[in-house]
Amino acid sequence: MKNFIPYILVLGTSFATTFVYADGEIKLKRSCIKDYPMVEGETNPELLAVYSQLCDKKNKDNKNKLLVSAAEKFQQIGKNDKAIQIVNYLEAQNIQSNELTDVKFLAGIGLASDALNKMRTREMRYLTEDKTYPVAKSFTDAVRQAMPAAVLVEKNQESAPVVERARPQKVSRPQKSRTTPTRSTPATKPATKPTATPAKPKSTSSAPRPNFPT
């Protein structure tokens, strides 16, 4: 009879495992859902895997880390309200971590984005000038100041003017200019028009006198 006890224990463990992972899907026990009612109705396998570890008493010491993982999964699947609930619970227990702060930041942006989308598509209105817009502008300014160093460097490179490197100019040696002697041509005088000389009147003395009778 004693030889059958280990076999019964192994068989019982296999049945329990089959109950949890039946048909290739993770199914949480009722006692687990009762302890964590937030997971009721969820079907994401990664999220259910986290809660199956939470419900395992062996992971009692890792409960806070597993809850942070659950909050991350809720945020990733768009259940930002549930992610915020887990963050608030852990912060009330004085649990702080960078991962938890990131979940709070991303879930808050998701909720704000949902509200803005509702304003624009369903309610057909804009942000109010005196109430919602100043808060949104202040937040965007804070995000701009908290940009990663790599993004700042990339933006500075895009905005910097492109300076072309000046190509080194070749220094040309001065060449001696050869002067070819030019022959001087005599200046030509302007042609003068010939002046017409007046004709001399014919003398009448040489003409023969007519012979008159004396």
Q: Judge whether 59 lies within some domain.
A: yes
Does 71 share its domain with 134? no
What is the sign, positive or negative, of the torsion defined by CA atoms of 202, 204, 207, 210? positive
Same domain, 24 and 85: yes
What is d(CA 55, CA 39) in angstroms, rounded to the nearest whole number?
12
- Residue 106 included in any domain: yes
- Statement to judge: residues 73 and 141 lie in one domain: no
| pLDDT reported for residue 12 | 43
Query: Could you tell me if residue 187 is inside a domain?
Result: no
User: Which pLDDT score is estimated for 67?
Assistant: 98
Tokens at residue 41, please?
Answer: 């109705």
Listed in sequence order, the DSSP H helices in the chain are 4-20, 30-35, 45-54, 63-76, 80-92, 98-121, 132-145, 149-159
Query: In the 8-state DSSP scheme, what is residue 15?
Result: H
Report yes or no on 19 lying in a domain.
Answer: yes
What is the tally of structural domains in the chain?
2
In the chain, the amino acid numbered 155 is K
Same domain, 27 and 57: yes
What is the model's pLDDT at position 37?
96
The structure tokens 């949480």 sit at 28
149, 47: one domain: no
Range of the domain at 34: 4-125
Residue 91 lies in a domain: yes
Residues 142 and 38 in one domain: no
Same domain? For 111 and 69 the reply is yes
Statement to judge: residues 109 and 138 lie in one domain: no
C-alpha to C-alpha distance for 43 and 20, rounded to whole angstroms: 13
Question: Is residue 153 domain-shared with residue 49, that is, in the same domain?
Answer: no
> What tokens does 56 get?
């395992």
Please tell me the distance from the alpha carbon of residue 13 to that of residue 107, in angstroms, as a whole number: 38
Note whether 132 and 85 are same-domain residues: no
pLDDT value of residue 158: 80
Q: What is the DSSP string of 31-48?
A: HHHHH-GGGTT---HHHH
Domain match, 81 and 140 both? no
Question: From CA 38, how far away is CA 109, in angstroms rounded?
Answer: 21
Could you list the pLDDT tens digit for every one of the 214 residues in the chain? 444 344 334 334 433 433 355 456 889 999 999 999 999 999 999 999 999 999 999 999 999 999 999 999 999 999 999 999 999 999 999 999 999 999 999 999 999 999 999 999 999 999 999 999 999 999 999 999 999 988 888 878 887 666 556 566 666 666 655 655 556 555 555 555 555 555 555 544 444 554 444 4
